[in-house]
Structure 1
Amino acid sequence: MDSTNGTAADAGNNNNSDDKSELIIAIAALAISVVALIIAVLQALQQYFGSAEGYSSCNEKIIGGWSKFTKRKFIPTQFRFEVRFRVPVIFVAPPQNVYGPLGDDDEKEIVYIDGSVENYRKTHTWTPEEFDIKQRAKLKGTDTRETIHTADNELTTWLALLMAMQRMERESREWQQKICTPYVLPIDAAQALTPEEEFSRHTMAVGMQEKTRSWDTMPDGLKKPYATTAMCHLVEMVAMLGIYWKEFDRSNNVYRAQGNGFLVTGSMVPNLGVTFTFEKVGKTWFQENRIVPHDSVKQLCFGFCPTIFQAGIKTPLYTDEPKDEGTLQLGTPAEVAETLVSFGCNTNTVNYFRLGNEHTRYSHLFPITFEMLGMVGEIMQIRQTAFTMLPNPTYFTWNKSAFSLVGLMQALGRSLDEANVEENLFPRGSHLASIRSDIDRVIAAFNEDAIVKRRNDIDQADRRKTAEIKKMADAHNHAVRKRNPVKAKPAEPSALTRGLRKMRHRASKTLIRVGLIADPSAVALATHQKELVPNVQARESFPRYLETLHHAIKRCDLFLERNYDLVQHVFALHMQEVLCYLNSRPYSPDDEPHDTPILNLAGIRPQGATQSSTTNHRTRRGSHIPPTPHIYTPAPDNSEYYNEQYIPLHTIDTASWITRHRLLMRVYVNFLRKRIAAVPIPDAFNTFTQVRPGREKMIELIRQDSSAISALADVVVTEGGSVTVSASSTNPLVTGSSAGTSSSTAAEAAAIIEGASAAAAAGSPVESVPSPVAAAREAPPGQSTTNANAAVAARNREKDTFTRPTTVRDIEDIWCTLTFRMICWLMLHDFHKKDVQISKSDVYDSRLAVYIL
C-alpha cells in the first residue's frame, strides 16, 4: 500500500511539474509573441511614418520659426504620409502695393519688412537678441551676433536673408532717428510722423508671401527647403543690402556678389534652375550706407536712370525696346553711346564711347557719366530722410577722395562772379541772379551743418568709447571673479592712513584751485577729445543741408520744364564740348609740357616752338603715337579752339587740391559756356517759353508737393512793376515747419503770388495785398480756402507764361542751371567707391524665377 501511494504521489508531483513547465513555456511563448508583435508593429509604424520623407529636413535647426508649419498629411490612396511645409516668396515693391506674386486673397497676406518686433513675428525670424540666445549661446565672442563661425551652416540661407533685411530696416531707422535728432526743428506734436507714416514715405521695400509646398516636388539632391524670388528682385535686394556684383555671367550661369560682410553666389542646379546662396562672411552695418528706399532706384540697379524729361509721364520701361531721352543708359560704353544718340549728339561725340580706346579720356575730376546723372537725372533722395546712397548705374568708379563737391560749388560761384564783372550776367531779377543766391544758400547750409555734425560726432565717439571701456571692465571683473571666486577682504586702513589721505586730497584741491597744478580730469578729457577729433570723418549730407539742396534742385527743374526741347539741345552741346575738351591737346603728345605755369596758357604751343618744327617732330616720332583716327581732337594749330580762355587738362591734373576746382570751373564758365553760346540756335528752338515775372508757374506744383513752396523767388518790386514773393516767409528752413507744411499752406502761397501780381499791375504797394487768412474769411460758406485759391490760380493759368524768340542769354541761363543742378544733385546723392555697374540691363523687370537655398 505504501509503495502504491508513493507511486501515485510521485505521479501527481510529476504532473504538477509538467503543468508548471508548460505554463512557463506558454508564458515565455506569449511574451516572445508579444515582443515580436510589438517589433512588427513598430517596424510597420516605422515604415509607415518613414514614408514622410523630408520631415527631418524641415525642423527648427534648418528653417527656424518656419518649422511650425511643417505637417504630415496622410494620403489614403497611397497609404503614406506627405510632408508639407511653408517657404517665403520674396519680392520688392512699394509698401502700398496689395498685389503679390501669389495673389491678393486674405490667406496669402503680404508682409513688408520694416524691422519692428511685430514684423519679426510675421516673417517667423529671430530678432538679433533671440538669435544671440538661441543660436549663438555656446559662442564666447565679445559680440556673438558678429562672430564668424564657418561650421555653423545648418540654417537655410534664405532665412539669413530675411534676418538681414529685418536688421537693415531696424538699424538704419534707429541710426536715422539718432542722427536727425540734433537737426530736427521743433514742430507740433500733431505734425509728428508715426512709424507707419514714416514707412509710407518709402516706395521700395522687401515683401514676402507664404507658400505651402510638398517635399514630393523637391528635386533630387536638395536636402533643405528653398525660397523663391525673381531675378530682378534678387538684384534689387542685393543692392539694398550694400552688396556689389563681381560677376554676372548669364551665358555660363556664374554669379557672384560681395560687400558689407555678405557673399552671394549663384549657379545652375539641375531639375530646378538658377539658385543662389546668401552667406554672412564678415561684419555688417546699416547706417548711412543704406540705399535710398525710392522706387526709381530699381532702375539704377540695372544701369538705367530716369530723367526729368519723363517727369509726370512715367511711361513704362521695356528692356528690349530702344530708349529715348527719358532714360539714361550708363551700364556699358555702348549704352552710353546710345544715350548720347537719343539726345542728338554728333557722331564724333558718340564715337568717344562707341569706338574709344585706352587713350580716350572720360573724366576730369570725376567721370562725365556722373555729370550726365546730375544734370538731367531724377531726384532719388527722399525728403526728410538721411539716406543718400544709391546703386552706381555707371561702369565708372565714384571716388570723392579726389575732389570736393562743396569746393566745386564755391568755385562755380567765384567763376560766375568773375564773369559777371565782365559780362553783367546778373541783371536785376534775372534767373542767374537767383542761381547765384542759391549757391550761397547751399554753401551756408553746408557750413552750418558741418559745425553741428562735428560736435555731434565727438559726442557720439565719446559715448562709444565710454561704452567700450565699461564693457571691457565688466568682462575683466567677470573673469577675475571666475578665477578667484573667494577672495579675502582687504584690511581696513588705520585712522592715521585715512587722515593722511584726506590731507593730501585737500592739498591737491587747493593747488588746483589756485592754478599751481593742472586738473588731472580736465587734462584727461582734453587728451581724449583731441584723440577723437582726427578720427571723425566729415560728411556732406544732413537733413537741413539736404533740404536746401532739394529746394535748389526744385527751382532748377521749374525753370527747365518749360523748354525741355531746348534743354536737351543745350545738354547735347555740353556733352560734345566736354568730351572734346577732355581729349584735346594744345600740343603734340611728345611736346606737351607737364609743368606749364597757369599764367602762360594763352600760347597755342610751347614757347619757342614753331608749327613746322612741331609738325616735323610729330612726323619723326609718329610711330610712338597710338593711332586714334576715330577720336575727334582739335588740331594743335587750331587757334579758334585753343584761345586765351583754354586751360590744358594736364594743368588741372597737376594742380593742388584747392586750385583744381577753380581751374575746372573757370574752364566751364569762361571756355565751355562761350563755345556753347556761340553755336547758332536751330530753327526748331527759336521760340522760348518764359514765365511772367512775379507769376511763377510752380502754383500748380505747390498743390502737389508742399516742398515747392520754398522754391519761390525772392520778393522785389522791379522797375517794370513785376512782383516776386520772398522765400523767407515760406521757406521751411526759416520757419521751422518743413515737416508739417500742408496743402492749404501751399494754396495760400499761390494766393500770395496771385495777389502780389495783381497788386503790382494795379500800381498798389505790396503791403496792401490781402493776406490768405483774410481771403479765407471772405470765402463763401462751405467752400474751403484751398478750393478758392485753386480757382483763382486756374483763372490766371493762361496768363502765367508767354513766348518770345530764343536768345543767347537763354542758352547761357539753361547751361548755368544744368551745371548748378549737376553739383547739387551729386551733393544730394552718393555712391559707394567699390560699386561699379556690371552689365545686366537685359534682366531689368525680368520675372525669371530663381531660388535661394
Structure 2
Amino acid sequence: MGNNTSSEGGGNDESLVNWVALVVSLVALLGTVAQVLQQYIASAAGYSNCGQRVMGNWHKSKKRKFRATELRFEVQFETPVFFVCPATNTKGPIPEAPIHFVNGRQQSLEQTRALLPKEEEAQRQSLQVHTADNERASWVMLLSQLQSMEKESQEWQQHHYNMGPPQNLPLVDFESHTLAVAVQAKKRSWDTMPAGVKKPYATTAMCHLIEIAAMMGIYWKEFDRSRDRYRAEGNGYILVGSNVPDLGVMFTLQICGKSRFQENRVIPVDEVKELCCGMVSTLFQENKDRRRIEFPNEDPKDLSFLQLGSMDEIAETMVLIECNTDTANYFRSDDTKHGHLFPVPFELLGMLGKTLHIRNSAFRMLPNPTPYHWDKNFFNLRRLVREYWKKVSDSDADLPQIAQIQQLIEDADIVLRTLDVDRKSKTPGYSMPLLNTLHDVLDRCDMFLRQSDRDLVRMVVREHFQEVLKLINDRSGVDGEADGKSTHTHTNDKQTAEHFDELTAASPELRQEAFMELYFFIVLRQVRERAVTSYERRRTTQYAPSVHSREPSIDSIPEAKALSPSPTPPAAPSRPISPGLPPPLLKTRGRSQSVPVLHIQAPGHGPQQYLGMDITTSLESEASAIWCTLVLRMLCWLLLHDFNKKDVQIAKSELLGSRLPVYVA
C-alpha cells in the first residue's frame, strides 16, 4: 500500500509540473504573440502624431491600413488643401474632390471639421492643452481663424446695417464674394512625411498663402526668397516661414494677440490678388478672361494694369504712361521726394485704379500695393473734396463751361452733402449712403474717361505727374511769369502756394486749400497746355497712332471729311464727346490762346485758321475736363477705399498667380 501511495503522490507532482509548464508556455506564447502584434502595430509609424490634440476634428480621418506584402501597417489620414477663389467656383486643385467654402456658418464648420476660436480653446482646455503647449498643428488654428473672420465680419455688417441699405436693398451675401477661402481634403500617408516633420501639414500655393495673409490683416515684414526667410505680422498674428529639407517652404501661424474682423476686413474681391503683389487693375481693363498666371512673365503694355510694388516698378509705370526720363528717375534715386500731402503713387492709384468697393457692402480695406505708408494724419480727404468743389466752381480757375465740368461741380456738391450727413451717422466713414454715393460718382467719372480719347487721357496723366514730381523736387521748375502775370496770384490778388514744400509749413486747416490752389492755378495750366500741344503734334505729323486709342487718328480720316465744316452744328451732347473728331466750338470765359494755333490747309482751299482754332480750343476744354475728372476721381477713390497704416508692399510681383507649393505646419 505504501508503494501505491508513493506512486500517486509522484503522479500528482508530475501533473502539477505539467500544468505549471503549460501555464508558463501559454504566458510565453501570449507574450510572443503580444510582442509580434506590438511590432506590427508599431510599424504604423506616426499614428500617435495624428491624434485629436494635434489635428483637432481632422483626427477622425486617421486609420491603419495593413500592407500584406510588407507585413506592416500604413498610417493614412486627411489634411486640408487651402486655396482662394470666387464663392461660385466649382473646380479645385484636387479633381472631383468636394469643395468646402469657409463662410463662418454651421454647415461650413462641419464640412471643414473646424471650430470657432472659443470652441477651439474649450476643446484644447478639455484635452489639457494650454497656451504654452505646441501640440496643435497651426493649420487647425488657421482654419478656425478664417471661419471667425467670415462670421465676425458678417455679424458686424449686419449689426450696423440691420435696417438694410437704402431702397431696402439686401446686403451683399457671401455667395457674391469673388474672393473666398476654400478647402479640399487630401488623403496622405505618413510614409511620405519628411524625416524632420513630426506633425501632419496642410498644403497651399504661394499665391494663395499671400492672399490669405492679406485677408487676415497680416502684413509682410520680411520676404527674402534667396534665403527662404519670411515673416509677417498684424491683427494679432505672426506668420513665419522657412525651408524644410526634402519638402519645401513651410509656414507656421502663431497667435500673439486679439484679432478683429470688422471695418478692417479686406474687401472680398478678386482684384485683391493683384494688389497683394503690387499690381493694380485700372478702369480701362477690358479683357477679364485673361489668365492671371501669365502676368508675371509679361510687362504691361497698356493702361489696363499698373505695377506699383517697388521703386523700379513705379519708374517703369511712369515709362508706360510715356513720362520723360527725369520723371522715371525720380523713383530710382534716393535723393528725391515722391510725395506732397501723401505719396504720389496713391494719386496715380486713385486716378486710374479700378473701383473695388462692392455695392451695398461696408468693407473698404485693401492691401497696399505700393512701398509707401498710407498715413492720413497729415491731410484730410474730406477737406480736400470741399476745396476741390470751391476751385472747380471758381470763375478764376479758368475752366470751360461745358457739360462735364458742370457735372463735376454737381458731383462734388453731392459728395460734400453726403459727407456732412455721414459725419453725424453711427458709423462715420462707413455709412451706406456715403459709400454708394462715392461709388456712383466714380462710375460717372469712369464713363466719361472711357468715352474720351485714350491718347489724350494718357497725355493728361503723363503731363500731370511730370509737373507734380517736378514741383516736388525742382523749385526752378515753377514759371515765374506767364502772360505777364505771376503764377502765384490770380485776379483776386490772393496768394497761392508756388511749391509743395510750402504745404508743410501751412497749418492743418489751410493745408488742403493751399494744395488745391496749387493744383488748379499752376498744375492745371501747365498740364492743359503741354497735353494739347503734344496731342496735336502727334496727331498732325506722321507719328504712328497709338494702338491704345479707342478713337481713330485724324490722319486716318478722309481729308475732305476732316476739314470741311459741318453745315449745321450738331446738338450739344450731354457729355463731351471724344476729341478724336473736332467737336463744335466750346465757349470759354475770355481765356487767351495758350498754345500755337494750328493752320491746317486742304488742297484747293484757303487757310483754315478758324477751323484750327476751333480744334485747339475744344482740345483744351477736353483736356481740362479730363484733368478735373481725374482729380475728383482720385479723391473719391481714396475716400471709398482704405489701407492700413502699417501695411507696405514688399516687391513680389512675379509671384502673382504662382502655384509654387508651400505648406502650413
TM-score range (shorter-chain normalised) is 0.7 to 0.9
**1:380 corresponds to:** 356
Cα pair distance change 1:312/1:444, threshold 3 Å: farther
The one-letter amino acid paired with 1:547 is: N
Q: Cα deviations across residues 397-422 of structure 1 (Å, max 9, x unaligned)?
A: 0001111111100011112233x256
One-letter amino acid matched to 1:849: P
Q: Matches of residues 344-383 of structure 1 in structure 2 within 5 Å?
A: 344-354=322-332, 356-358=333-335, 360-383=336-359
SS in structure 2 of the partner of residue 84 of structure 1: strand
Shift of 1:132: 3.6
Indicate whether 1:649 and 2:500 are aligned.
Answer: yes
* Larger relative helix fraction: 1
Q: 1:820 aligned to 2:664?
A: no
* Distance in 1 (alpha carbons) for counterparts of 2:373 and 2:510: 23
Within the candidate set 111, 133, 137, 1:156 is matched to 137
Displacement after TM superposition at 1:254 (Å): 0.6
Compute the displacement of 1:685 (Å): 5.4
Residue deviations 1:15-69, cap 9 Å, x none? 2222222222122111111111111111011011111111111111111111111
Name the residue aligned to 1:283: 258
Give the alignment of 1:414-493 within 5 angstroms: 414-418=390-394, 420-421=395-396, 423=398, 425=399, 427=401, 430-453=403-426
- TM-score (ref. length: structure 2): 0.84
Question: What is the match of residue 343 of structure 1?
Answer: 321
CA distance in 1: counterparts of 2:397 and 2:422, whole angstroms: 34
In the aligned structure 2, how far is the partner of 1:286 from the partner of 1:320?
35
Cα distance between partner residues in 2 of 1:566 and 1:120: 53
- Aligned pair partner of 1:56 in 40, 43, 48: 48
Q: Which amino acid aligns with 1:644?
A: H
Alpha-carbon deviation of 1:303? 0.6
Match of 1:831 in 2: 643
**Of 66, 79, 98, which aligns to 2:90?**
98
CA RMSD of aligned residues (A): 2.6
Question: What is the aligned partner in structure 2 of residue 561 from structure 1?
Answer: 450
* 1:167 is the counterpart of 2:148: yes
Deviations along 1:677-709, one digit per CA (max 9) or x if unpaired, are 12214234589999xxxxxxxxxxxxxxxxxxx
For the 8 Å contact 2:87–2:176, the answer to whether it is kept is no
Q: Give the superposition deviation at 1:650.
A: 2.9
Cα distance per residue 1:321-360 (max 9 Å; x no partner):
1113221111111100100101110111111112x223x1
Name the amino acid aligned to 1:671.
I
Deviations 1:444-502 (A, max 9, x none): 11221221226xxxxxxxxxxxxxxxxxxxxxxxxxxxxxxxxxxxxxxxxxxxxxxxx
Rounded Cα–Cα distance in structure 1 between residues aligned with 2:324 and 2:83: 42
C-alpha displacement of 1:173: 0.6
Counterpart of 1:671 in 2: which secondary structure? helix
Q: Report if aligned partners of 1:634, 1:641 keep a CA contact under 8 Å in 2.
A: no
1:285-304 aligned at under 5 Å gives the runs: 285-304=260-279
Kindly provide the amino acid, as one letter, of the partner of residue 304 in structure 1.
Answer: M
Structure 1 residues 154 and 638: alpha-carbon distance in aligned structure 2, compared to 1, 3 A threshold: farther
2:214 matched to which residue of 1?
239
Counterpart-to-counterpart distance in 2, 1:412 and 1:309:
25
Question: What is the distance in 1 between the residues matched to 2:37 and 2:127?
Answer: 36
AA at the equivalent of 1:330 = L
Shift of 1:149: 5.7
Query: Following TM superposition, by how much is the alpha carbon of 1:392 offset from its aligned partner in structure 2, in angstroms?
Result: 0.3
Q: Distance in 2 between matches of 1:178 and 1:44?
A: 62
* DSSP-derived class of the 1:835 partner: coil
CA contact (8 A) 1:74 1:82 kept: yes
- C-alpha distance in 1, partners of 2:109/2:82? 15
Q: Would you say the 8 A contact 2:138–2:253 is kept in 1?
A: yes
- Aligned mates of 2:640, 2:357 — CA distance in 1: 7
Cα distance between partner residues in 2 of 1:422 and 1:85:
71
Deviation track 1:569-609 (CA, whole Å, cap 9, x = no partner) reads 110110101001111226xxxxxxxxxxxxxxxxxxxxxxx
- Distance change >3 Å, CA 149–CA 818, structure 1 → 2: farther
Q: Which residue of 1 aligns with 2:535?
A: 682
Instruction: Identify which of 543, 547, 551 aligns with 2:440.
Output: 551
Q: Which residue of 2 aligns with 1:490?
A: none
1:399 match: 375
Per the alignment, do residues 132 and 852 of structure 1 end up closer, same or farther by CA in structure 2, a change over 3 Å counting? closer
Q: Say if 2:101 is the partner of 1:109.
A: no
Aligned to 1:840, which of 628, 640, 652?
652
1:183·1:543 contact (CA, 8 Å) conserved in 2?
no
Structure 1: give runs of 5+ residues left out of the alignment.
Answer: 1-7, 140-147, 455-538, 587-632, 691-718, 726-802
- Asked if residue 67 in structure 1 is aligned to residue 59 in structure 2, the reply is yes
Structure 1: which amino acid aligns with 2:368? Answer: N
Deviations 1:740-778 (A, max 9, x none): xxxxxxxxxxxxxxxxxxxxxxxxxxxxxxxxxxxxxxx
Is the 8 Å Cα contact of residues 237 and 257 (structure 2) preserved in structure 1?
yes
Kindly state the Cα deviation for residue 316 of structure 1 after the two structures are TM-superposed: 4.2
Per-residue CA deviations over 1:169-225 (Å, capped at 9, x if unaligned) read 1101111111222563353xxx646xxx71122101111111111111111121111
Partner residue, 1:123: 112
Q: 1:34 — aligned with what? A: 26
TM-fit CA distance, 1:79 = 1.1
- Aligned 1:688-707 pairs, distance under 5 A: none
Structure 1 Cα separation of the partners of residues 396 and 53 of structure 2: 75
Do 1:565 and 1:685's aligned partners in 2 also have CA atoms closer than 8 Å?
A: no
SS of equivalent residue, structure 1 residue 245 = strand
Shift of 1:127: 2.6
Could you tell me which amino acid in structure 2 is paired with residue 265 of structure 1?
Answer: V
8 Å CA contact retained: 2:487, 2:521: no
Q: Which moved more, 1:228-237 or 1:175-184?
A: 175-184
Q: In structure 1, which of residues 173, 197, 200 is the aligned counterpart of residue 175 of structure 2?
A: 200
Output one character per residue of 1:103-145: Cα deviation in whole Å (capped at 9) or x when no partner.
2x2xx10111111011011111113343243223589xxxxxx
1:24 to 16, 19, 33: 16
Residue of 454, 457, 470 corresponding to 1:580:
470
Q: Describe the SS at the equivalent of 1:309.
A: coil
Distance 2:69 2:528 in 1: 84
The one-letter amino acid of 1:321's match is E
Q: Distance in 2 between matches of 1:260 and 1:839?
A: 22
SS in 2 for 1:834: coil
> Is the Cα–Cα contact under 8 Å of residues 577 and 672 in structure 1 kept in the other structure?
yes
Do the aligned partners of residues 836 and 42 (structure 1) sit closer, same or farther apart at CA in structure 2, a change above 3 Å counting?
same
Query: What residue number does 2:598 align with?
Result: none
Q: What residue is the counterpart of 2:562 in the other structure?
A: none
Q: Deviations over 1:654-697 (max 9, x none)?
A: 1111100000000001110011112214234589999xxxxxxx
- C-alpha contact 2:481 2:487 (8 A) present in aligned 1: no
Q: 1:545-587 CA deviation, whole Å, 9 max, x = no partner?
A: 010001000000111102222111110110101001111226x
- TM-score calculated relative to the size of structure 1: 0.66
Give 1:647 deviation, angstroms: 2.1
Equivalent position SS for 1:121: helix
Please say if residues 456 and 535 of structure 2, whose CA atoms lie closer than 8 Å, have aligned partners that are also in contact.
no
Secondary structure, counterpart of 2:79 in structure 1: strand
List alignment gaps of at least 5 residues for structure 2.
490-496, 552-568, 576-613
Contact 1:115-1:168 within 8 A present in 2 as well = yes
Q: Is the 8 A contact 2:366 2:641 kept in 1?
A: yes
Secondary structure of the structure 1 residue equivalent to 2:239: strand
